[in-house]
Structure 1
């Protein structure tokens, strides 16, 4: 079966931006692009309405996907684009679609939360329950935004990609290989560097002493930096072409990662899989990055 990058499409500006990003990613990876339009059945009274009945609604959804696919084929020659229309609840349909995809790509309004069929808890629920990588792309994202400035000081798709940023868990010992590999692979595909951001906090009972004893604080900082370097050493060997910059800093992990995202082509974070059917669990750092990072964010689920 051909591997795919699947996009949740609803016709909103953010989902169109997600489709454009996914098309560029499909070309980088040499994968099929699938647009999936979730058609949620209308309530019976609305479905019977003459001006906006079920048939009219279905026709509109099919037209949206068909025209989007046509535009993507024109703007991104060489990629294969398919469309699929599925009736059902968006969260369930998209989580199921993710199982057969290399990546699931969704639109995000960024600071305002999620839009389109991702209004409310649906978008976060997909991120929290899908067990394949999910990429969130903000409305207005363009190809040039992922690249360095040109000599005139303007982002340009003709320049090198900005680095990929990888946010690592506070506990180095609990790192998962799938998150690290995804980030290294993304950087290698883009022929760019990888900026690894590791934020850590002192235990509350040490914090006061640390401010009074800078030598002791430096020892703690060096231990974290050493552990980070050791955790990445095998991946540096596996991806020798990827230039890696390691940043191990005290303070808010989410804050450091959001700051780094402003100069990134892609931000990669992990999410521990919790198979409890209720609740939305993505972790506080991932939650903050999803809502505040200006760059596309890839959430990689792991055990």
Structure 2
């Protein structure tokens, strides 16, 4: 059974932007698109209150907010619109019941990737990632992409990070955050493949800090900082060498910079179509541990963010 590109849908502008992004991605991958609208039962005491409209509480969207329309109608209208804008794309819908974070994490297991919407922070840029999104990212064992609703429609001649105005709009580069101390094939391969199918370049960003024993020496030993920078750059080149051969058609630029990689990735996201970061898989059902770099990028990046789990 082929995998799908799956979207968590609740009728909000954020989830609609996620669905549009996912539709374009499904077209690039040649996979079906599945829209999942989760119906969340109300807490039992609330459902038993006779003076309240229990139906409004029994069916909540993936963000936990009661939708203005029923889940069947939300999913049907979204699917119809996507079919019109993406002719030939196989689009299906599901309305499972349960807690959104648990249902969506399970849905990710059968998907090539799961796509969720995140609220924009207005003029500050970046994402507002709710508890559902963080929980899904932390527990899904397939890549999860967070997409922000566009604050305004870009010019039709400009690249569009979310893919909303036109499926023919060209893509900006893909940005990969890479830890060369612990590089993972799943993460690097995902980023190179994403750049290839977009027909764009890959920008690999690595951040480094000197060993604790060398911090004081940086200001007293001439040329030490430059020497460390050259060493880190050479290590990054070596890590990427086999991937450049495997994806010879992808132009890859390397950036090895002093400092925390999260800040460099947030800066790079302003000119990116997608930012790719990794997350170590943890089997514990408790907590939403995604790592400091992924957490910072999810909250502050100006482009969609793909979180790729790895062992």
TM-score, normalising length: structure 1? 0.89
Q: Which residue of 2 aligns with 1:232?
A: 240
Distance 1:215-1:57 versus aligned 2 partners, 3 A rule: same
Per-residue displacement from partner, 1:127-165 (whole Å, max 9, x unpaired)? 011010000001227896898569xxxx98655311000
Equivalent runs, 1:189-204 vs 2, <5 Å: 189-204=197-212
Establish whether residue 36 from structure 1 lines up as the match of residue 36 from structure 2. yes
Partner of 1:259: 267
The range that moved more, 103-112 or 78-87, is 103-112
What CA distance in whole angstroms lies between the structure 2 residues aligned with 1:28 and 1:147?
Answer: 20
Aligned mates of 1:239, 1:65 — CA distance in 2: 38
Distance in structure 2 (CA, Å) of the matches to 1:232 and 1:46: 55
Match of residue 96 from structure 2: 86
- Which residue of structure 1 lines up, in the alignment, with residue 63 of structure 2? none
Aligned residues: 292
Change in 2 beyond 3 A, CA 1:214/1:282: farther
In structure 2, do the counterparts of structure 1 residues 47 and 200 end up closer, same or farther at CA, with 3 Å as the change threshold? Answer: same
3-state SS in 2 of match to 1:192: coil
Is contact 1:143–1:157 with CA below 8 Å preserved after alignment? no
Q: Distance in 2 between matches of 1:122 and 1:260?
A: 26
**Superposition deviation, residue 50 in structure 1:** 7.2
**CA offsets 1:22-43 (integer angstroms, 9 cap, x no match):** 0010111111000001100123
After the TM superposition, which segments of 4 or more aligned residues of structure 1 sit over 4 Å from their partners?
48-51, 55-59, 141-150, 155-159
Match of 1:62 in 2: 72
Unaligned runs of 5+ in 1: none
TM alignment of 1:99-138, pairs within 5 A: 99-110=109-120, 111=126, 113-114=128-129, 119=130, 121-138=131-148
Deviations 1:32-83 (A, max 9, x none): 0000011001234554657733389657111111111111111111101100
CA pair 183-107 structure 1, distance change in 2 beyond 3 A = same
Seen in structure 2, the aligned counterparts of structure 1 residues 214 and 106 have a Cα distance that, compared at 3 Å, is farther
More helix by share: 1
Does 2:306 match 1:291? Answer: no
1:243 matched residue in structure 2: 251
Q: Pairwise CA RMSD of aligned residues?
A: 2.4
Deviations 1:230-273 (A, max 9, x none): 10011100111100100001112110010001000000000011
Once residues 295 and 255 of structure 2 are traced to their aligned partners in structure 1, the CA distance between those partners, rounded to angstroms, is: 21
From the superposition, tell whether residues 301 and 84 of structure 1 become closer, same or farther in structure 2 (CA, over 3 Å).
same
Give the TM-score normalised by the residue count of structure 2. 0.87
Following the alignment from structure 2 to structure 1, what is the Cα–Cα distance between the partners of residues 132 and 40?
Answer: 13
Find out whether 1:269 has 2:277 as its counterpart: yes
